[in-house]
A = this chain, B = another copy of it.
Amino acid sequence: MADATNASQTAGLDFTRSDERIGELLRRMHELADLGALGALAAWDQNTALPDGAGEVRGQQLATLQGVLHDRATDPRLGALLDGLAEPVASATFSDADRGLVREAKRTYDHATKLPRELVEEMARVEAGAFEAWRRAKEQNDFASFAPWLTKVVALQREVADRYGYKELRYDALLDLYEPGMTASRLDTLFAGVRDVSVALLRRIQSEGASVDDTCLKGEFPRDKQVALSDTVLRAMGYDFNRGGIAISPHPFTTSFGSPFDVRVTVRPDEHFVQAALMAAIHEGGHAVYEQGSAPALARTLLAGGASLGAHESQSRLWENAIGRSQAFWQAHYGLVQQAFPEQMGSVDVTTFWRALNKVQPSLIRVEADEVTYNLHIIIRFELEKGLVDGSISVEELPRLWNAKYREYLGIEPATDAEGVMQDIHWTSGFGYFPTYTLGNLYGAQIYTTLRRDFPDFDARLASGDTAFVLNWLRERMYASGATYQANELMTRVTGEAPDPKYFGAYLNAKFAEVYGLKPQA
């Protein structure tokens, strides 16, 4: 049923298999995707089942697979095939899927061939060393011992950017790995809007907001009941268990295996805090329904899955925050929570629960942040890593600048570097990833606004328990095309215009005015 709908809405989303060159490219892409899927399976296994004693041998297995993949990904005949397709594929006899495939295959080929082997090996060594140094330095709150490693990461990332090439800024070459086509100067514009709105709203909430009590989320919640509840809520949002499954892992994540037919999620229940697993399940569910929605024709190619990390995050955040933290959604589904935890939730009403889920509280820790403050954490990281890459900021002055920005944007300041500049793992492997989180929020709000515009009775339908209309709209408009279009074009196709931060601002102000009973603004 879903597939039939997809197919009718997405007639340019198949490949011109009759063309010999496209056929050859597909053959090569399928092979790479299949082997990549086995690597993804090994990673999934490492997080869900691998015994402790098998870490080293698994590393050797993955290294062997990487070698096989690298040989095929850098085959000069693949490069020649892509060069030969570059011009013809632009013509109208080829489909959007053909063009997307050639574009993504070329990006991947360039990334695989532009770095010399010694640089790749050096990066792996430095990443491993930086990870260990970070782990220990964080434990001992000793930034000085991490700094030399971070300095090496900066130097290598600059070399990588130079080898990949860029038009405006070095940073753009790194960003392109995660958000193809995006640039730092565009981010400056987009993020300025998000930052100003977030800071202003936070001040209003702090000065005139009603108090929000979230004690109902804390207590004792047996882990197995939380997993069962996550399962039920995932079903309620339309996640397809016939093409997926749920497991437990140290950190929640979603993984797919080169196709929409197998997309799995994990949760990690926190016995004392019911929100952790529940909202993580909806968040991962958002990633997962996006992956499951790719047109079947795109399976086993680079086009199966999301258009970018930002596009991906837009769906996890749309489902988690716009839907999963809405009053309408819980009007339909709060009974499931009460059934799972009758003692803890029996006397808590849905409005109290909904407000608790949306409590705003500036904190030092990004991963615990609410919707109002979350992007301020990201923007701080973006501003700092951009400075590291362009040389305007040195590693040594990072802790001071970090703390100053937290004071400026969030009004609080870390007491230690462990809960400050060293809180995230990301910088041990490089730069350009963080901005995609905020892009996700921004894209998500814009898509959500379009969706609501298309359904005037949106809240009533959601409150009646219907989520299928949301999922079907997203599948047809967005998910089916996978990575056929880059994020900017995809946003224009889905929402009618390029990304604009005003939608996120309007969404945030309207939602939290309601949660906190704020007076209408002038």
Q: Which residues of A contact B (CB under 8 A)?
A: 30-31, 34-35, 37-39, 41-42, 45, 49-54, 56-58, 60-61, 63-65, 67-68, 240-245, 247, 257-259, 261-262, 264, 299-300
Chain B residue nearest to A50 in the complex (CB): B262
Contacts A50-B262, A53-B261 aside, 17 further interface pairs with beta carbons under 8 A come to A30-B60, A34-B60, A34-B61, A41-B42, A41-B45, A49-B264, A51-B242, A51-B244, A51-B261, A51-B262, A52-B242, A53-B240, A56-B261, A57-B258, A57-B261, A57-B300, A58-B262
Q: Which residues of B contact A63 (CB under 8 A)?
A: 34
Q: Which residues of B contact A50 (CB under 8 A)?
A: 262
Would you give the shortest CB distance from A89 to chain B, in whole angstroms?
25
| Majority-rule SS of A interface residues | helix
A257 touches B54 (CB 8 A): yes
B57 touches A257 (CB 8 A): yes
Given contacts A53-B261, A60-B30, A262-B50, contact A35 B65 (CB under 8 A): yes
A60 touches B300 (CB 8 A): yes
B34 touches A243 (CB 8 A): no
C-alpha spacing A500/B262, complex, angstroms: 50
Of A57, A68, A258, most buried by chain B (CB within 10 Å of CB) is A57
B242 touches A61 (CB 8 A): no
B65 touches A38 (CB 8 A): yes
A257 touches B37 (CB 8 A): no
Would you give the shortest CB distance from A256 to chain B, in whole angstroms?
10
Q: Which residues of B contact A258 (CB under 8 A)?
A: 57, 61
A to B CB contacts below 8 Å, 12 in the list? A34-B61, A35-B61, A37-B57, A38-B41, A38-B65, A45-B45, A51-B244, A53-B261, A53-B262, A54-B259, A54-B262, A61-B258
C-alpha spacing A56/B34, complex, angstroms: 12
Q: Which of B35, B53, B68, B241 contacts A51 (CB 8 A)?
A: B241
A64 touches B34 (CB 8 A): yes
Q: Which residues of B contact A300 (CB under 8 A)?
A: 57, 60
C-alpha spacing A261/B37, complex, angstroms: 23
C-alpha spacing A240/B50, complex, angstroms: 13
Q: Which residues of B contact A45 (CB under 8 A)?
A: 41, 45
B57 touches A262 (CB 8 A): yes
Q: Which of B38, B61, B64, B243 contacts A53 (CB 8 A)?
A: B243
A243 touches B51 (CB 8 A): yes
C-alpha spacing A61/B242, complex, angstroms: 19
Would you give the shortest CB distance from A214 to chain B, in whole angstroms?
33
B61 touches A37 (CB 8 A): yes
Would you give the shortest CB distance from A292 to chain B, in whole angstroms?
9
Chain B residue nearest to A72 in the complex (CB): B68
C-alpha spacing A31/B58, complex, angstroms: 12
Task: Identify the 4 closest CB pairs spanning chains A and B, nearest first.
Answer: A54-B262, A34-B64, A53-B243, A34-B61
Q: Which residues of B contact A240 (CB under 8 A)?
A: 53
Q: Which residues of B contact A30 (CB under 8 A)?
A: 60, 64
Would you give the shortest CB distance from A299 to chain B, in whole angstroms?
6
C-alpha spacing A444/B240, complex, angstroms: 47
C-alpha spacing A257/B61, complex, angstroms: 10
C-alpha spacing A42/B34, complex, angstroms: 11
Q: Which residues of B contact A261 (CB under 8 A)?
A: 51, 53-54, 56-57
Chain B residue nearest to A37 in the complex (CB): B61
C-alpha spacing A504/B68, complex, angstroms: 48
Q: Which of B57, B64, B243, B264 contacts A31 (CB 8 A)?
A: B64
Q: Which residues of B contact A67 (CB under 8 A)?
A: 31
Q: Which residues of B contact A257 (CB under 8 A)?
A: 54, 57, 61
B34 touches A299 (CB 8 A): no
Would you give the shortest CB distance from A240 to chain B, in whole angstroms?
7
